[in-house]
Structure 1
């Protein structure tokens, strides 16, 4: 059957209705002022959902949900911190840390051993107040063991190994708690310059820098500290027993019946002056003890490339005000210098020279180089003041 008139007019009616709706919408749009979408309270999630896929809309809705006040406060603080980072410049901070807020700067460190677990505040049940270092080879282990046992739990023990042998020392119980640094064929001043920076050893009131060939039968470290404090010594050493194998300088010889002495009295003929090294304000470098403040200066005096330290003992007085009063030898706690030439064996032999001969020649050369540098530095400093 063919379609009737009403059926044929339905499509025409639909088109007409659509055109009227468009025209009406256009008329309405022209009849009202334009509206800014920014003035409407339309959730941003609805706007984004017209442009992005559903998963992103869902994430945005989560972000727009109400947050706790503490979370919002933290985000505000973090935002403020990020914005102000470029404005921080504190010239009084340590060099290189000027862009950090002073409250976060950790300028000093220590040699205390830490745990790998638990609360950091619970790591240290005991904080040693003093540091003792020995530069050692395994052949001298028995002598070093006897020396270490003269130091109480108030001391951090640090071992510098010039022969590369470290694990063998674990036969001694104290060794398992000591700090071991192993670099072959180096001297104690090489180690000290690299591992005893003043900001690293700052927690320690006194720093002992000792050789391995010292007899300590008549020495007690705690009693030694008491005497150093009593007499106000900033740099000191135990006196040497007259039985020691030779003396480089007579001022270090023990005087029976005294607690300490500070100079040669009367001055022997070879002294440049009664107040001058090696007759006053002088100790040797075999068993030296430094206060924290004195060491901060001495560390800077040690030359990076001159490793034997010869000549250094003549200049230690530069690091102490009133050196004649504050540098001294402790008589009532004395040691024996066994003069074992162990470091000489670490030298390089040749057809013309034994290993120890080359080492000794380097020692003398360094002494001259150190003195020349010191004289030149004095002249460079004083020249502008004299002109």
Structure 2
């Protein structure tokens, strides 16, 4: 009985001493609005685990320098907030450096209702495709194999520009070379996106649209003797 009590007491004392040593050795971090962190530790100058440059000042305090976080995110750790994002899809597990999708060069977005566009668009290997659903019918699109590879966003009774202003923000679409925002009833059976982009590059067009045949607005009618008209 005495041996057991002595063993328990020794273990409790050892555990308490270990906790006290750990607490005393933990770095103390103070966040500031100026983008500079002060960390009390006995580290050497160099880079921390996040790759931020640092140095030890005269008082033995480690200074970590980082870019200022945006308003509302001042107390987040270094590298947590980035200035840009993208619409590239990522795996849910495994090594993030071995991501599944290609980084597409172009983006095409449609505002669609089920039954209006159907199977008249097949995704290209160079395109990220977004479907903005204004009728709330998403599951029906699973019948199209290509639909499983695109991004679906739904909000009832909204227009394409309502969607575009909220989900095609400049910081999001910056990685793409060209962006297409099309109406859902546009016939693309005889349209070659890659050939169209060649013309856009050739003539240095910032904003353009494909010419159409038939009774349309004069500015959009195709002129057979010209590649481009303004």
TM-score (ref. length: structure 1): 0.44
Kept in 1, the 8 Å contact 2:90–2:101? The answer is no
Rg (Cα) greater in structure: 1
Match of 1:226 in 2: 198
Which runs of 5 or more residues in structure 1 are unaligned?
1-51, 65-71, 263-387
Which residue of structure 2 lines up, in the alignment, with residue 250 of structure 1?
218
1-structure distance, mates of 2:23, 2:67: 35
Q: Is residue 240 of structure 1 aligned with residue 212 of structure 2?
A: yes
SS of 2:116 mapped into structure 1: helix
| Structure in which a larger fraction of residues adopt helix | 1
Find the aligned partners of 1:111 and 1:124 in 2 and give their Cα distance: 13
Q: 1:230 to 1:183 in 2, by over 3 A?
A: same
Distance 1:61 1:97 in 2: 32
Counting only pairs closer than 5 Å after superposition, residues 1-387 of structure 1 correspond to structure 2 as: 55-57=15-17, 59=19, 73=43, 84=63, 90=68, 105-142=81-118, 145-146=119-120, 148-149=121-122, 151-241=123-213, 243-244=214-215, 247=216, 249-262=217-230
Q: Deviations over 1:230-288 (max 9, x none)?
A: 110000000121x24xx3x41111101211111xxxxxxxxxxxxxxxxxxxxxxxxxx
Structure 1 Cα separation of the partners of residues 133 and 76 of structure 2: 37
Once the two structures are TM-superposed, the CA of residue 153 in structure 1 deviates from its matched residue by: 1.0
Provide the rounded CA distance (Å) in 2 between the counterparts of 1:239 and 1:173.
29
Relative to structure 1, the CA distance from residue 57 to residue 214 in structure 2 (aligned partners, 3 Å threshold; closer, same or farther) is: closer
Alpha-carbon distance change, 136 to 54 in structure 1, aligned in 2, over 3 angstroms: closer
Contact between 2:110 and 2:182, CA under 8 Å: does it hold in 1?
yes
TM-score, with normalisation over the residues of structure 2? 0.71
The 3 A distance-change label for structure 1 pair 128 and 56 is: same
Q: Distance in 2 between matches of 1:133 and 1:62?
A: 54
Q: CA RMSD in A?
A: 3.6
CA contact (8 A) 1:128 1:155 kept: yes
| In structure 1, C-alpha distance between the alignment counterparts of 2:103 and 2:78, rounded to whole Å | 25
1:33-85 Cα offsets, whole Å, 9 max, x none, are xxxxxxxxxxxxxxxxxxx9554235557899xxxxxxx748x9589799646
Give the aligned length: 194
1:73–1:173 Cα change, 3 Å:
same
Change (3 A) 1:133 1:56: same
